[in-house]
């Protein structure tokens, strides 16, 4: 999967390419990352990319032209390299909430262009004209779109075949089946007088699967009851699941 990222701070993405699973995904060619600095598309000696907002108010707004030209350059390179036209994603608190289902959907695309905003945001005319998808990673504000963009890229990379050592990891983690993940344990069996649940030591895979499902239901009901209602409305809860929930209540 190819990522073209428009950012004023391309050096931040060394965290994505230099560590962990995403580093391996880049090294093996599962993920390709290209960064584009809007300052390279300015026409004045100061390489200015922001200006005061019309109507007044605090802060600055990213100007339309440098971003527009950067998007043109990405499209032009895509034509030369026979890369399929990629949707443009803008990450902002005003976007639609990013969900696991949306991650799975987007991971099926060959490429994405990510626009990272700064300051008070981006000139609305760029968003209206060039952006296809606006996504939010939560109801809070950070200094720029780089960290949210990397979170999105990380989530997408995990869904690509061959990126994770164990393909089942992506299938069994939180939200993959609509519920939060169950508790996990490792050695030693006894740590500070806390022991591993005996069922996990039994070797009985059917009982272990049943225990994990029950724990996931209990944890989701306690922490995210909205996910229980969503799973119920989508027909993802079995009669056994409903029995467990009734017992917990």
Architecture of domain 2-158: 3-Layer(aba) Sandwich (3.40)
> Range(s) for CATH 1.10.1270.20 in the chain?
177-248
Q: Would you say 145 and 91 are in contact if contact means Cβ atoms under 8 Å apart?
A: yes
d(CA 48, CA 157): 33
Rounded to the nearest 5°, which phi and psi values hold at 219?
Answer: -65, -40
Which residues are paired to 91 by β-bridges?
A: 135
Q: Would you say 83 and 13 are in contact if contact means Cβ atoms under 8 Å apart?
A: no
Q: Residue 183 CB: number of other CB atoms within 10 A? A: 13
| Angstrom distances, CA of residue 236 to CA of 19, 65, 178, 228, 232 | 36, 47, 8, 9, 6
In this structure, what DSSP letter does residue 176 have?
T
Instruction: Please tell me the predicted confidence (pLDDT) of residue 175.
Output: 83
Instruction: Please tell me the predicted confidence (pLDDT) of residue 93.
Output: 92
Instruction: Please tell me the predicted confidence (pLDDT) of residue 167.
Output: 67
Instruction: Please tell me the predicted confidence (pLDDT) of residue 171.
Output: 64
d(CA 173, CA 134): 25
Instruction: Please tell me the predicted confidence (pLDDT) of residue 84.
Output: 81
Selection from 35, 43, 111 nearest residue 73 by Cα: 35
Q: Would you say 109 and 1 are in contact if contact means Cβ atoms under 8 Å apart?
A: yes
Would you identify the CATH topology of the domain 177-248?
A: 1.10.1270
| Angstrom distances, CA of residue 91 to CA of 2, 7, 25, 114, 138 | 17, 12, 22, 8, 10
122 in helix, strand or coil?
A: strand
State the first-to-last Cα distance of the chain, in angstroms, to the nearest integer: 44
| Angstrom distances, CA of residue 62 to CA of 20, 115, 241 | 32, 11, 50
Instruction: Please tell me the predicted confidence (pLDDT) of residue 172.
Output: 64
Instruction: Please tell me the predicted confidence (pLDDT) of residue 168.
Output: 65
In the chain, the DSSP E strands lie at 2-6, 32-36, 50-51, 61-62, 88-97, 111-115, 133-136, 190-191, 194-195
Instruction: Please tell me the predicted confidence (pLDDT) of residue 80.
Output: 84
Counting as low any pLDDT under 70, the low residues of the chain are 167-168, 170-174
Q: Would you say 185 and 196 are in contact if contact means Cβ atoms under 8 Å apart?
A: yes
> Range(s) for CATH 3.40.1280.10 in the chain?
2-158
């Amino acid at each position: 999967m190819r990522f073209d990222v428009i950012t004023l701070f391309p050096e931040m993405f060394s965290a994505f390419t230099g560590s962990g699973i995403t580093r391996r995904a880049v090294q093996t060619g599962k993920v390709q990352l290209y960064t584009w600095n809007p300052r390279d598309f300015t026409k004045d000696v100061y390489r200015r990319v922001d200006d005061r907002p019309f109507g007044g108010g605090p802060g600055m707004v990213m100007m339309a032209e440098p971003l527009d030209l950067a998007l043109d350059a990405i499209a032009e390179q895509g034509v030369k390299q026979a890369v399929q036209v990629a949707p443009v994603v803008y990450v902002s608190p005003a976007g639609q909430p990013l969900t696991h289902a949306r991650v799975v959907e987007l991971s099926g695309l060959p490429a994405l262009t990510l626009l990272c905003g700064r300051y008070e945001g981006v000139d609305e005319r760029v968003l209206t004209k060039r952006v296809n998808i606006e996504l939010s990673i939560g109801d809070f504000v950070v200094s720029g779109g780089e960290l949210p963009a990397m979170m999105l890229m990380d989530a997408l990379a995990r869904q690509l075949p061959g990126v994770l050592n164990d393909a089942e990891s992506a299938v069994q983690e939180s939200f993959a089946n609509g519920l939060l993940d169950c508790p996990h344990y490792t050695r030693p069996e006894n740590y500070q007088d806390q022991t591993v649940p005996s069922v996990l030591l039994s070797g009985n895979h059917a009982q272990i699967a049943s225990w994990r499902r029950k724990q996931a239901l209990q944890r989701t009901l306690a922490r995210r009851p909205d996910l229980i209602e969503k799973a119920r409305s989508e027909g993802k809860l079995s009669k056994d699941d409903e029995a467990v929930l009734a017992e917990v209540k």
